[in-house]
Structure 1
Amino acid sequence: ERAIADDEEQAVVDALGATLHALGDLTLTDLDAVRLGHQEFARELRRAGDRPERRLSSAATYFYERLVDTACLHILQFFTQRSTFVAHALVEQARGLDELISKVDELVRRSPLPGGEDAAFEQRYLEHLRKKHGKLTIHGIDLSSSPTRWPLDVAYLNLETIRTVPSPAPRGETGQAYQRALADGTEPADQVLDSDRRVLLRGEAGSGKSTLVQWLAVTAARGGSTGRLDHLDGRVPFVLPLRTLTRHGLRLPNPRDLLAATGCPLAGGQPDGWEDRVLLAGRALILVDGIDEVPEPERERTRGWLRDLMETYDGENRWLVTSRPSAVGHDWLVEDGFREVTLSAMGPADVAAFIGRWHAAAGAGSDDGGELDRYTAQLRTAVRTQPDLGRLATNPLMCGLICALHHDRRGSLPHGRKDLYEAALSMLLSRRDRERDMALPALREEPQLAVLQLLAYWLIKNGRTEMDRSRAEAIVARVLPSIPEVAELGGAPAVLDHFVQRSGLVREPAPGTVDFVHRTFQDFLGARAAVEEGDFGLLVEHADDDQWEDVIRMAVALARPREREAIFRELLTRGEHAPDQRVRARIHLLAAACLEHATSLAPSVREAVERATAALVPPGNEEEARALADVGPLILHLLPGPGDLDDDMAAYRTVIAASHIASDAAVAFLARFTG
């Protein structure tokens, strides 16, 4: 059946021609036309053509409209195929999105939508994190013309991490074990959370664990990361120093209490349930710093708390836990899906870079640039050419102390860790006020150390790294009558204020809380107190406690020859009678590590320690291999060479031990295994 009568066919053709001719009168762009859709575009064409359908019958008008609609559908299809259309469409889309975002932001600002309160609070919280963690204290930079804190961007040194090799494969799968070890390799410290959502980071005291936590928190808080750090973009960091969370031995916090537990000044201002929503959305970056600073009896409780959080908020959240190497076993968090990495010691290039940055910061605002350049070059040469000094300069803390002492002593340096710590304490306690020309009472070092070491010893004996200010004042009050020189400052509160404000060793991280600026100083001062008290039995009793390792090492260095000999004999006896093989190995390895601090020791005692250590060679697993490396270069002459080994895995573990020894002597030893 024909759609129209014969006498109307030409009228429809004329109307359709007039309508399509009106394409030349439209001012729409291709993009505008497509955005309208073919039916609305047809209506625009009919209007532009002066509506020719008004002269047609109803049947002809209906047929004409269908023809125009179909024609417009094909015309718009043709527009989208033109080369300029996609480019124009993308530009317009980007402009439209920008306009939409601006309008939504303004709408949220004027009248917060559901979730708008969360976004507004997050902006405040992230700004707080950027300011709080965006500065770094470099120990030793305390010259009168130098800043006390350094921008993190300038101070941060990105070290390498070594992936912990999985437990050795059963016999017959040695090749696979090697393949896994090769695949694990190394990676920059700030990328450890890129491929893995859960990481346990191990590192020695002063190795930069807490600085890495700061760096990750600030990077995430800034947002807009690209390239290798884009996995941190859009994440909300929670920095959880366990030394603070466990200070009073109270229950570890639930998500809603995290800000209050860490002393965040914004606590209480967050929208109700905000932390829960962040964790449920998988946007959180949880940075748990310092498992080793939790007393050993409380670590299992801490692991349970961590597991509860992870099981409740699994998703895409990222978790980083830090610890000293020996604080927890190698499998402590393995079944919870954590990959283990170890923070590497600073290499020669890292040390050279750190020395340059330290002197640049020390010279900020001063006119002695030439002298600082000379000190920089001199110290770089000394660290490279003097083995004892090179062995000390393996982490940022020790490098900072070495730089400060080198500058303070006009280019001369003490030898050995004990001498270095003593010189650092002398510099911090005596030089600061002299340099700043403060018109205040000048105290000698020994009276100050007598007070400080009692504070340190209380923390060590109680397994803590922080104490309530009231407790610190009580300790100071008890000792003041016997130290009249310090008592001249006033009562216990005044004395404690003096140390907090002027010693450079004690600080008040939160109101009502006192701690040492670094655990290293606490351990050294605690060792001084233990030696003065003659508490050698107490030291040996805690030989299997990782929190006492450095205390015992420094006690050996500080003790008199007969006292030192007694410590070694008691360590060997304790190790021999330990019912657990791991405890026995740990104590004997600690005794071997103490040998480097024994300036004088009876040959028979030294030989007895070496015999006990030789029984642990070659190491039985990777954990024992790394523990052997902690003994230092003296273990190299006890490790078997390739000709003395007939088992591939034993050779593999021997190489692990040697590769973790920070000494050029290890390179020559390792070279024997390249075949």
Structure 2
Amino acid sequence: MDPAAAAAASTAATATDALVQELFVADGPVDRPVRLASLVAFQGDHRTLTERDLTRIAAALVEAELRRTAHPGVIGALARTLHSLGTIDLDDVRAVRLGPEAFARHLAVAAPDAGEGLAPDEARLHATLREAVAAHILRFLTLRSRFLAAAEDAAFEERYAQDIVAAHDHLTIYGIDLAHSPDSWPLDAAYLSLETETDGGSPSAPAEQALAGRERVLLWGVAGAGKTTLVQRLAVSVARGDLPAPLEGLRGRVPFVLPVRRFRHDSNSNHDNNGNSHHDSHRNGFPEPDAFLSAVRYPHAAAQPPGWAERVLSDGRGLLLVDGVDEAPEQERERLREALRELPARYPGNVWLVTSRPSAVRENWLASERFTELKLSPLSRDGVTAFIRCWHEAARQDITDRADLDRLSGYEETLLDAVRITRELGRLATNPLMCGLLCALHRDRRGYLPRGRKALYDAALSMLLERRDRERAMLPPDGIDLPQEPKIQLLQKLAHWMLVNGRSEMDRATAVETLGRHLPAIPHAARQGGPEEIYRHLLNRTGLLREPTPGSVDFVHRTFQDYLSARAVVERHDFDFLIDHAHLDDWEEVIRMSVALARPDECGYLLEGLLAARKDARPVHARHRKLLAAACLEHATELDPEVRSRVHRYTRDLVRPTSLEAARALGWIGPIVLEMLPDPSGVSDEEAHRLAVTATSIADDRAIDYLVRLRDRASWAVRAQLAGAWRRYDTDRYADEIIAHLDARELDFPVSDLEELRALRRLGGRPCVQIAGAFTPEQLTEGLVAERLAELWLAYDLGEDLDLSWLAAFPRLHTLRLSHRNAEVTGVPEGVQVIVTGA
């Protein structure tokens, strides 16, 4: 629907609502069921309408619904139908529960002769009008009665909560073969608590704790960091009423899971003679509350009581989970931002969580609307260990043979050793997606792991597309037996369509049509079935596609879509296509993967294209392209040394950031930027701080060599930045080369796990310590150096352990900082000042 048509439809609906309201008296009970016959305005003691008025209203309703006049016979038939409202034996509660279709049938039975004498086409028109008006009548009845609205809302919310749990209470765990659900696992069993961090000096904290007490949060996370998983966890926990202690404040709220990729109409594509797709469609911005459920294709959206979503938001009961701002086209994000400014102001008291990849939105994107910005941290060493343990525990559930169980336990231990010892594997295992793939591949390949990003994804595709079924000696259940390469080619066609059209989800019919267009060129597939059969095979047997809602399809993870898109582009030699879109942040991963896949001369062409000046290019886009070229260098297996040198030359001046936002933005380039950062010895403290921000954004132990040159700075900002980055690096090496050398004055030293606690004790302790992980009192009294500790910040949720009498073990302690959630502590020793930090 184009904007003009949408506006006209909205105007028509408003006019119809006003006309329907005329049919009923203005007063009447709203706190109990009421007979419809007592509410109509054309009979009884409060009559205000005549027979002529009913004809007038019927004519106006016809014009409002059809936007044209109709035969007088149709108007008369509708007037007689409206008159039957005074004769049917229904109260408002029963009428609403019937729904529009059944209620319209009641009107037809009550006025059997209403359409007498109408021609067949007029009779059909009258029936359509009767049902449309019936829907508006039920909407009016629901809106007028608090009793009716509350009863209908409660019944619907119970069903809606059950559907939320059914839709989101599972995760994809790659490589675990379950008897009935090969790629999914219950959310409770597989969920790993994620850590978040801010730039405000607060230590990292579990996401549940960081979100507690906050009404508006913008959460950043790289691909695979777990943003959507966290959204699922929150939605399911709230729907079930089974909430962790920090999130008790969300109890009773109604979760709305709102993936941004679904805020659009189905696209209309046409193709030229070469099969290239040209996209031209209108896309919606953020939907209005009454359209939330239909926008995300909730199958029972039509069953929601009229005005329900708006009542939920007006009462401040909503939990709005807006997932994936980065999946909106760049030119539409400003409209999305305006909606995220306007809706929280219009409906105060609701809780908002908005997620995005960091590159898609700038810092402080929603700060003016009081959104707190949090970032999902890379998995810590303990987080990686916990994930690997969790993955293998889930895998054990499907194994009965003792030898297989022992073998799996051996894989678990060797993988844990590998990610600790092998730096390249440690760099890959930074988020749940990558950890899951490493676990699956390690088991699938009996302890052998590929090296590097390209090898990892190639191996993952091999595992998912071919080896799993073959090695399980599984016969194809659908009669289709495709080798790996044809399946990859077909999946690439779908991924390429999404890339060209700026989508991360496509209509099922479009997917089938796209496959049908390319099948003739892939005879091995064409011989085994038509596009519909091949589509079902790819959906059911590859583990890469899913149907998130009826009638739509997407990839199980955006990273697979990006990788297959890159393969398609490289095979088509369409590097100019990539270069033309390199200024768009959602193309970054595709371009980086294309460099990994391309031949040396193609890499050179692509990188030169990123560096080249472009007519009318905005300066920010030119800078983005050059930095992207630098980021691509680590993915190029073979490259002309002159091209590599030229990339360094063009980007050297770009790595002296002039703001903290720019400093953080350099982090996505990766370890290659460490080679280009300037010598920090002669720069100001302000610039040294920005350089420290950039270097600590790179979770690679090579950053320690650069940070060593900043460790002797007197600047508190530099020292605090270095201290706060400890958890990203090898504990003992960072302790010896950085922590041991930092001036301790007015500096909180963060401790997030037992290894760091032991390392800090080995260094003699520190006067001010920030405890960012959950410890027992025994661990803290043993690990902290009592003779030195003067200030302690317990920056984690104490839960029920609110007795702090154990602090008496620290005779020099004079200041204790606590979260506002832990304000009710007891047993604090005399003379210790307690400072409660805000939300």
For Structure 1 versus Structure 2, the TM-score category normalised by the shorter chain is 0.7 to 0.9
Instruction: Check 1:348–1:585 CA distance in 2 against 1; reply closer, same or farther (3 A cut).
Output: same
Asked whether the 8 Å contact 1:193–1:318 carries over to 2, the reply is: no
Residue 219 of structure 1 corresponds to 237
SS of 1:616's equivalent in the other structure is: helix
Using the TM superposition, give the Cα deviation of residue 419 of structure 1 relative to its aligned residue in structure 2, in angstroms: 0.8
Aligned to 1:417, which of 450, 453, 461?
453
Letter of the structure 2 residue corresponding to residue 635 of structure 1: V
The answer on 1:197 being equivalent to 2:206 is no
Using the TM superposition, give the Cα deviation of residue 147 of structure 1 relative to its aligned residue in structure 2, in angstroms: 5.5
The answer on 1:667 being equivalent to 2:704 is yes
Aligned to 1:349, which of 379, 382, 391?
382
Aligned to 2:598, which of 559, 578, 597?
559
Letter of the structure 2 residue corresponding to residue 542 of structure 1: H
Using the TM superposition, give the Cα deviation of residue 112 of structure 1 relative to its aligned residue in structure 2, in angstroms: 7.1
Aligned to 1:373, which of 403, 409, 414?
409
Aligned to 2:681, which of 628, 638, 643?
643
The answer on 1:548 being equivalent to 2:548 is no
In the aligned structure 2, how far is the partner of 1:498 from the partner of 1:430?
Answer: 13
Percent identity between the aligned chains?
A: 51
The answer on 1:302 being equivalent to 2:336 is yes
Letter of the structure 2 residue corresponding to residue 657 of structure 1: T
Aligned to 1:149, which of 170, 177, 184?
184
Residue 588 of structure 1 corresponds to 626
Instruction: Check 1:250–1:640 CA distance in 2 against 1; reply closer, same or farther (3 A cut).
Output: closer
SS of 1:414's equivalent in the other structure is: coil
The answer on 1:287 being equivalent to 2:321 is yes
The answer on 1:429 being equivalent to 2:465 is yes
Aligned to 1:326, which of 359, 365, 369?
359
Using the TM superposition, give the Cα deviation of residue 134 of structure 1 relative to its aligned residue in structure 2, in angstroms: 1.9
Asked whether the 8 Å contact 2:480–2:529 carries over to 1, the reply is: no
Asked whether the 8 Å contact 2:480–2:537 carries over to 1, the reply is: no
Please list the CA deviations of residues 86-124 of structure 1 after superposition, one character each: whole Å capped at 9, or x if unmatched: xxxxxxxxxxxxxxxxxxxxxxxxx97762332332222
In the aligned structure 1, how far is the partner of 2:179 from the partner of 2:611?
Answer: 49
Asked whether the 8 Å contact 2:219–2:354 carries over to 1, the reply is: yes
Residue 34 of structure 1 corresponds to none
Tell me whether 136-145 or 497-506 shows the greater mean CA deviation: 136-145
Residue 535 of structure 2 corresponds to 496
Instruction: Check 1:269–1:579 CA distance in 2 against 1; reply closer, same or farther (3 A cut).
Output: closer
Residue 339 of structure 1 corresponds to 372
SS of 1:446's equivalent in the other structure is: helix
Asked whether the 8 Å contact 2:492–2:564 carries over to 1, the reply is: yes
Letter of the structure 2 residue corresponding to residue 221 of structure 1: A
Residue 795 of structure 2 corresponds to none
Aligned length: 545
Instruction: Check 1:250–1:567 CA distance in 2 against 1; reply closer, same or farther (3 A cut).
Output: closer
Using the TM superposition, give the Cα deviation of residue 473 of structure 1 relative to its aligned residue in structure 2, in angstroms: 1.6
Aligned to 1:272, which of 306, 324, 331?
306
Asked whether the 8 Å contact 1:146–1:363 carries over to 2, the reply is: no
The TM-score normalised by the length of structure 2 is: 0.63
The within-5 A match list for 1:22-171 is 115-142=150-177, 148-163=183-198, 165=199
Tell me whether 493-502 or 613-622 shows the greater mean CA deviation: 613-622
Please list the CA deviations of residues 294-335 of structure 1 after superposition, one character each: whole Å capped at 9, or x if unmatched: 11222222223333322321x211111111111122232222
Aligned to 2:506, which of 467, 470, 479?
467
Tell me whether 586-595 or 126-135 shows the greater mean CA deviation: 126-135
Asked whether the 8 Å contact 2:297–2:550 carries over to 1, the reply is: no
Using the TM superposition, give the Cα deviation of residue 432 of structure 1 relative to its aligned residue in structure 2, in angstroms: 3.0
In the aligned structure 2, how far is the partner of 1:601 from the partner of 1:284?
Answer: 53
Gaps of 5+ in 1: 1-110, 166-180
Please list the CA deviations of residues 368-395 of structure 1 after superposition, one character each: whole Å capped at 9, or x if unmatched: 2211110000001111111111111111
Using the TM superposition, give the Cα deviation of residue 270 of structure 1 relative to its aligned residue in structure 2, in angstroms: 2.7
In the aligned structure 2, how far is the partner of 1:427 from the partner of 1:605?
Answer: 35
Please list the CA deviations of residues 58-103 of structure 1 after superposition, one character each: whole Å capped at 9, or x if unmatched: xxxxxxxxxxxxxxxxxxxxxxxxxxxxxxxxxxxxxxxxxxxxxx
Residue 178 of structure 1 corresponds to none
Say which structure, 1 or 2, has more relative contact order (CA 8 Å, 6+ apart): 1
In the aligned structure 2, how far is the partner of 1:441 from the partner of 1:113?
Answer: 54
Asked whether the 8 Å contact 1:622–1:653 carries over to 2, the reply is: yes
Instruction: Check 1:355–1:224 CA distance in 2 against 1; reply closer, same or farther (3 A cut).
Output: closer
In the aligned structure 1, how far is the partner of 2:333 from the partner of 2:149?
Answer: 40
Letter of the structure 2 residue corresponding to residue 134 of structure 1: D
The within-5 A match list for 1:223-242 is 223=241, 225=243, 227-242=245-260
In the aligned structure 1, how far is the partner of 2:340 from the partner of 2:233?
Answer: 22
Instruction: Check 1:142–1:159 CA distance in 2 against 1; reply closer, same or farther (3 A cut).
Output: same
Asked whether the 8 Å contact 1:247–1:464 carries over to 2, the reply is: no
Asked whether the 8 Å contact 2:545–2:555 carries over to 1, the reply is: yes
Instruction: Check 1:472–1:652 CA distance in 2 against 1; reply closer, same or farther (3 A cut).
Output: same
Residue 671 of structure 2 corresponds to 633
The answer on 1:316 being equivalent to 2:349 is yes
Residue 642 of structure 2 corresponds to 604
Residue 426 of structure 2 corresponds to 390
Please list the CA deviations of residues 582-636 of structure 1 after superposition, one character each: whole Å capped at 9, or x if unmatched: 2222111111110111011111111111122211122112222122111211211
Using the TM superposition, give the Cα deviation of residue 433 of structure 1 relative to its aligned residue in structure 2, in angstroms: 2.3
Report the RMSD for the aligned CA atoms in angstroms: 2.1
Using the TM superposition, give the Cα deviation of residue 534 of structure 1 relative to its aligned residue in structure 2, in angstroms: 1.0
Gaps of 5+ in 2: 1-145, 267-281, 713-839
Using the TM superposition, give the Cα deviation of residue 338 of structure 1 relative to its aligned residue in structure 2, in angstroms: 1.6
Asked whether the 8 Å contact 2:660–2:693 carries over to 1, the reply is: yes
Which of the pair is proportionally richer in helix?
Answer: 1
Residue 401 of structure 1 corresponds to 437
In the aligned structure 2, how far is the partner of 1:537 from the partner of 1:622?
Answer: 33
In the aligned structure 1, how far is the partner of 2:360 from the partner of 2:520?
Answer: 38
Tell me whether 508-517 or 247-256 shows the greater mean CA deviation: 247-256
In the aligned structure 2, how far is the partner of 1:653 from the partner of 1:247?
Answer: 43
Instruction: Check 1:669–1:525 CA distance in 2 against 1; reply closer, same or farther (3 A cut).
Output: same
Asked whether the 8 Å contact 1:201–1:322 carries over to 2, the reply is: yes
Using the TM superposition, give the Cα deviation of residue 243 of structure 1 relative to its aligned residue in structure 2, in angstroms: 1.2
Asked whether the 8 Å contact 1:205–1:519 carries over to 2, the reply is: yes
Considering only CA atoms, is the larger Rg found in Structure 1 or Structure 2? Answer: 1
In the aligned structure 2, how far is the partner of 1:327 from the partner of 1:531?
Answer: 25
Using the TM superposition, give the Cα deviation of residue 554 of structure 1 relative to its aligned residue in structure 2, in angstroms: 0.8
Using the TM superposition, give the Cα deviation of residue 483 of structure 1 relative to its aligned residue in structure 2, in angstroms: 0.8
SS of 2:193's equivalent in the other structure is: coil
Asked whether the 8 Å contact 1:622–1:656 carries over to 2, the reply is: yes
In the aligned structure 1, how far is the partner of 2:628 from the partner of 2:553?
Answer: 30
The answer on 1:523 being equivalent to 2:562 is yes
Instruction: Check 1:578–1:596 CA distance in 2 against 1; reply closer, same or farther (3 A cut).
Output: farther
Divergent runs of 4+, >6 A = 111-114
The TM-score normalised by the length of structure 1 is: 0.77
SS of 2:320's equivalent in the other structure is: strand
The answer on 1:568 being equivalent to 2:586 is no
Letter of the structure 2 residue corresponding to residue 418 of structure 1: K
Asked whether the 8 Å contact 2:604–2:639 carries over to 1, the reply is: yes
In the aligned structure 1, how far is the partner of 2:231 from the partner of 2:434?
Answer: 19
SS of 1:115's equivalent in the other structure is: helix
The answer on 1:360 being equivalent to 2:393 is yes
Tell me whether 118-127 or 606-615 shows the greater mean CA deviation: 118-127
Asked whether the 8 Å contact 1:620–1:650 carries over to 2, the reply is: yes
Using the TM superposition, give the Cα deviation of residue 657 of structure 1 relative to its aligned residue in structure 2, in angstroms: 0.9
Asked whether the 8 Å contact 1:572–1:588 carries over to 2, the reply is: yes
